[in-house]
């Protein structure tokens, strides 16, 4: 179940980074020979810088976590889960707001860079795009795999590589104009899955805070739906990992679940004031 979540997040984050890189690459293809050559050099240098930044963040998180005792390490892992939840929600909201104008905004910024022969603008756009998605992925992986060792780490690594390979294949399919799934529909479907996953991370973080004594449980188990769908393994375990489903929830879990989805519905569908 965890491997599926890892592959899914790497897949989705990689597609967003590939989308930006693809837009930059396509725009550079319409420039003159000199502009194409110089621009692409800066583009791929920016991609490399973004990847290095994400790797450096991952190394810093691992080194810092290893210095902590058990209780502080669990609290640190919990903070990473909450941060990963916030970053996932922020990503969904950002794409909702900027998705329609992303191509136009990028091309406008690129044209300004070209007009002033400032190819560092191309470098910066590529580096920010890759570093942003890479940092979100790193935080998610750190929060999810903080206690993993040995075979679990190997399995997670293969899941991440599989997600990356699938992202390349998905991007290629969408770029070639699939009539079955448009970019708009793709982002709508995956944003729902991401919000479900963020909710699951938040509930896992809440469970950790309860076990650390930093959050009250408020009640015993309110009901037992294990006979309908257990959250212990198989299909129920997968459903729980993806959505935060609890077969035997307590009041704290129910309140956090309701508060999270209430906030999400408000953020997604709140009325927007007309711009003057």
State pLDDT tens for residues 256-269. 999 999 999 999 88
According to DSSP, residue 272 is labeled P
Top-confidence residue, 257 or 146? 257
Least confident of 141-155, 198-212, 242-256: 141-155
45-54, 63-72, 146-155, 263-272 — most confident range: 45-54
State pLDDT tens for residues 95-115. 888 777 777 777 777 777 666
Do 102 and 27 meet the contact criterion of CB atoms below 8 Å apart?
A: no
The rounded distance, in Å, linking the Cα atoms of 85 and 77 is 12
Q: Return the closest-CA partner of residue 90 out of 266, 260, 267.
A: 267
The rounded distance, in Å, linking the Cα atoms of 204 and 197 is 11
Query: Which tokens go with 153?
Result: 């780490």
Do 5 and 197 meet the contact criterion of CB atoms below 8 Å apart?
A: yes
According to DSSP, residue 188 is labeled H
- Residue 149 pLDDT level (bands cut at 50, 70, 90): low
Least confident of 51-55, 125-129, 257-261: 125-129
Top-confidence residue, 56 or 152? 56
- Residue 254 pLDDT level (bands cut at 50, 70, 90): very high
pLDDT at 276: 41
Query: Which tokens go with 130?
Result: 């890759």
Query: Which tokens go with 191?
Result: 């944003």
Other CB atoms within a 10 A radius of the CB of residue 21 amount to: 20
- Residue 239 pLDDT level (bands cut at 50, 70, 90): confident
CB-count exposure of residue 159 (10 Å: 0-12, 13-18, 19+): buried
Query: Which tokens go with 142?
Result: 């750190």
- In angstroms, the Cα distances linking 139 to 73, 83, 85, 125 are 15, 7, 9, 21
The rounded distance, in Å, linking the Cα atoms of 146 and 269 is 35
Any idea which residue has 């999810």 for tokens? Answer: 144
Do 244 and 196 meet the contact criterion of CB atoms below 8 Å apart?
A: yes
Least confident of 71-85, 173-187, 258-272: 173-187
Other CB atoms within a 10 A radius of the CB of residue 188 amount to: 13
Greatest C-alpha distance within the chain: 69
Do 198 and 89 meet the contact criterion of CB atoms below 8 Å apart?
A: yes
Q: What is the DSSP string of 135-158?
A: HHHHHHHHHHHTT--THHHHHHHH
């Amino acid at each position: 179940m965890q491997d599926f979540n890892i592959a899914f997040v790497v897949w989705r984050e990689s597609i967003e980074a590939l989308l930006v890189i693809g837009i930059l690459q396509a725009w550079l293809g319409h420039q003159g020979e000199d502009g194409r050559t110089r621009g692409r050099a800066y583009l791929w240098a920016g991609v490399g810088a973004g990847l290095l930044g994400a790797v450096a963040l991952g190394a810093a998180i691992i080194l810092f976590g290893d210095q902590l005792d058990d209780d502080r390490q669990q609290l640190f892992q919990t903070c990473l889960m909450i941060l990963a939840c916030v970053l996932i929600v922020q990503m969904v909201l950002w794409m909702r707001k900027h998705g329609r104008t992303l191509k136009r905004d990028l091309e406008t910024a690129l044209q300004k860079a070209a007009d002033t022969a400032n190819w560092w603008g191309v470098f910066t756009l590529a580096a920010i795009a890759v570093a942003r998605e890479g940092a979100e992925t790193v935080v998610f992986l750190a929060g999810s795999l903080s206690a993993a060792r040995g075979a679990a780490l190997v399995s997670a690594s293969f899941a991440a590589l599989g997600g990356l390979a699938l992202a390349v294949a998905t991007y290629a399919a969408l770029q070639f104009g699939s009539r079955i799934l448009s970019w708009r529909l793709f982002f709508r479907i995956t944003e729902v899955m991401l919000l479900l996953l963020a909710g699951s991370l938040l509930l896992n973080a809440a469970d950790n805070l309860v076990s650390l004594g930093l959050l009250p449980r408020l009640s015993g188990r309110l009901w037992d739906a294990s006979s309908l769908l257990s959250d212990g393994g198989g299909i129920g375990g997968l459903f729980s990992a993806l959505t935060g489903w609890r077969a035997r929830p307590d009041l704290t879990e129910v309140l956090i679940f309701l508060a999270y989805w209430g906030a999400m519905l408000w953020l997604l569908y709140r009325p927007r004031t007309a711009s003057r």
